[in-house]
Amino acid sequence: MKLPARRASFPIVLTIAGSDSGGGAGVQADLKTFTALGCHGTTAITCITAQNPKGVSDIQPVRADMVEKQIEAVFAELPPRAVKTGMLFSTEIINVVADFFSREKRPPLVVDPVMVATSGAVLLKPSAIRALKEHLLPLATLVTPNLDEAQLLVGRKLNSLEDLLDAAEELHAKFGCAALVKGGHLKLGDDAIDVLFDGKNFSVLKARRVRGISTHGTGCTYAAAIAAHLAKGEKLPRAVVLAKEFITRAITRSYFAGKHPSLNQQAR
């Protein structure tokens, strides 16, 4: 078979996150998103979960040194143009990831601070949250907390659009990175509202709230879409706008996997 004279080249993106056996979130959601947006996805797995749409039945962390080796292997031959982190699980893994990116010339780094489950349960131990705040967030290009995570990071309740704006600005002041505070869980009428502060300007992103649809994996998909657009050369504010459009389509045009609704990253 004769190969074409010039093969296609796709931007490489790395996700450092946990595996979801149900395919709805974690690295599975990230890889689907990268592919849908024309990127080549690579992974460093931090933990393996036994889960389905009804919940998580077990979780097995990957050794921190093995997480580091995965990252090193990717960077050695497949240098990513952007990196996204998700569930980092432990203090040890967070420190390994932070140490790597403090040593290496890093591409844009999108940190989805997976700290609080949809149920409201805190997923990281206090020591891991401290490590995230002290070591990883100062290295980030963007942090993307949901409402509960933003409240945990700023130490107070957020009840209004003004609160979201203040929180985004405060997160930038604390950690030196841009902040996208996702207000989807806040009851602000018929719109799901997110606030981006990039250090200079605010952007308020609105989309019609889609009711009655499972939101499992939306945070992963949203952050992965931002990373993919950054890898393709978009500036941060534009990458966030495009990612907001992407996640809104994925929710609006969700499909059924078995008996359960699932995000449709292939929606056009």
pLDDT tens digits for range 117-144: 765 667 889 999 999 999 999 999 999 9
Give the C-alpha separation, 79 to 81, whole Å. Answer: 7
**Tokens standing for residue 13:** 């993106």
Q: What is the pLDDT of residue 121?
A: 65
For residue 6, being part of any structural domain is answered with: no
For residue 159, being part of any structural domain is answered with: yes
> What is the CATH classification number for the domain harbouring 133?
3.40.1190.20
pLDDT band at 4 (very low <50, low <70, confident <90, very high): low
Give the C-alpha separation, 219 to 204, whole Å. Answer: 17
| Active site annotation includes 217 | yes
Give the C-alpha separation, 38 to 35, whole Å. Answer: 5
Query: Does residue 194 have a pLDDT over 60?
Result: yes
For residue 249, being part of any structural domain is answered with: yes
For residue 137, being part of any structural domain is answered with: yes
Q: Exactly one of 43, 217, 221, 248 is catalytic; which is it?
A: 217
Q: Exactly one of 219, 221, 244, 248 is catalytic; which is it?
A: 219
For residue 2, being part of any structural domain is answered with: no
| Active site annotation includes 38 | no
pLDDT tens digits for range 196-233: 999 999 999 998 887 767 678 999 999 999 999 999 99
Q: State pTM to two decimals.
A: 0.95
pLDDT band at 255 (very low <50, low <70, confident <90, very high): confident
- Counting every residue written for the chain, the total comes to 268
| Active site annotation includes 215 | yes
Could you tell me the residue range of the domain that residue 60 belongs to? Answer: 12-262
Q: Which residues have a Cβ under 8 Å from the Cβ of 257 and sit 6 or more positions away? A: 23, 24, 53
**Tokens standing for residue 101:** 């990116």
| Active site annotation includes 218 | yes
Q: How far is CA 256 from CA 5, 76, 81, 157, in A?
A: 41, 39, 33, 35
Q: Exactly one of 33, 215, 221, 248 is catalytic; which is it?
A: 215
| Active site annotation includes 91 | no
pLDDT band at 241 (very low <50, low <70, confident <90, very high): very high
Helix, coil or strand: residue 66:
helix
Residue 81, phi then psi, degrees to nearest 5: -90, -10
For residue 179, being part of any structural domain is answered with: yes
For residue 3, being part of any structural domain is answered with: no
For residue 72, being part of any structural domain is answered with: yes
Q: Exactly one of 33, 220, 221, 244 is catalytic; which is it?
A: 220
Q: Exactly one of 32, 84, 182, 244 is catalytic; which is it?
A: 182
Q: What is the mean pLDDT of residues 165-173?
A: 98
Q: Which residues have a Cβ under 8 Å from the Cβ of 89 and sit 6 or more positions away? A: 18, 46, 47, 59, 61, 124, 128
Give the C-alpha separation, 222 to 250, whole Å. Answer: 10
**Tokens standing for residue 232:** 């393709």
Query: Does residue 110 have a pLDDT over 80?
Result: yes
**Total structural domains within the chain:** 1
Q: Exactly one of 218, 221, 244, 248 is catalytic; which is it?
A: 218
